[in-house]
Amino acid sequence: MGDGVRGRRVLLTGGAGFLGRPVAERLRAAGAAEVFVPRRADYDLTDADAVRRVYADARPDTVVHLAAEVGGIGANRSNPGRYFYANMAMGLHMIEQARRSEVEKLVQVGTVCSYPKHTPVPFREDDLWNGYPEETNAPYGIAKKALLTMLAAYREQYGLRGAYLLPVNLYGPSDNFDPETSHVIPALIRKCELARRNGDSEVVCWGTGTASREFLYVDDCADAIVAATARHDGSEPVNLGSGTETTIRDLTETIARLTGFEGRVAWDPSRPDGQPRRCLDTSRARELLGFTAAVDLEDGLRRTIEWYRAEGDLARPVR
């Protein structure tokens, strides 16, 4: 198929967001003729007419669909209907309009939340359909997984070429640190940093701490997405991760140490742990994309904490 980036007009949804900004930078550096980043105020991607307009305005050769509505466990429990509808509607309209506009390639970014709750570790792409996702994020995960089937069907019937990527939990500078909607790493960084500044003797964390997760630094994920956009063309999903599993308890202790919080960490088992374990088999990404994560967890956490201290909400006076 050739390079899907160099000399191409790329429509990048979600391109102003946490992951989208480094993806946009790398697409430009890789030789994209133009990277068109739609803003929500101008184009509501859950609306079919707005999606038709953005394709008409961008005139893309290649589409990278990153845009999503998602949050941590609490946000997923509060917004199951919204998260299903928004993610399903955006993907549905984006893929259909790609077909109508005869784009050369569409890259759909999915989610690790699509995997079954009790997937054997490490998660292999072939296990994606072998059970129901963890309940708190199932609506989001199922909506995203349905788009994998849609892409495969459109490839078979219409010849729409695409790639489907499954990134694990992301983190890094510019992440969402809102205490209501953030994922686990920014939530813990904010909690420990605020406790350190206030001289608190204790922080309380959700769950038991026994659940495990895998984390991928945002710049590493951006590198993988651009590699897939440039050269991957296949119907099989591809995991994107670091291949390293860590428990939430160990993660919390590491963040407490790196922030300098010396108090007690208390666990609230009345709050959900989420999926019991999460760690990916990343061999397919190495084989197909030549991708291996470059930033290890402690280094990435240190960079994220430094950014938060300089730029995050606690960089301003606490009221």
Domain boundary assignment for the chain: 9-171+215-240
Q: How far apart are CA 222 and CA 256, in angstroms?
A: 27
CA distances in angstroms from 159 to 91, 94, 147, listed in the order given: 18, 16, 16
Given this model, what pLDDT does residue 272 score? 86
Q: Which residue has the tokens 């569409």?
A: 106
Given this model, what pLDDT does residue 319 score? 43
Given this model, what pLDDT does residue 77 score? 87
List of residues 6+ apart from 247 with CB closer than 8 A: 209, 210, 211, 212, 213
User: Which CATH class for the 9-171+215-240 domain?
Assistant: alpha beta
pLDDT tens, 161-194?
A: 999 999 999 999 999 999 888 889 999 999 999 9
End-to-end CA distance of the chain: 56
Residues in the chain: 319
What is the DSSP secondary structure assignment for residue 162, as one 8-state letter? E
Given this model, what pLDDT does residue 318 score? 47
Given this model, what pLDDT does residue 229 score? 97
Q: Which of 173, 171, 152 is nearest to 162 (CA)?
A: 152
Given this model, what pLDDT does residue 237 score? 98
Active site residues: 140
Q: Which of 106, 199, 209 is nearest to 158 (CA)?
A: 106
CA distances in angstroms from 282 to 66, 125, 167, 287, 293, listed in the order given: 20, 9, 10, 9, 10
Q: Which residues of the chain have a pLDDT value below 70?
A: 1-2, 316-319
Q: How is residue 101 written in tokens?
A: 């506009």
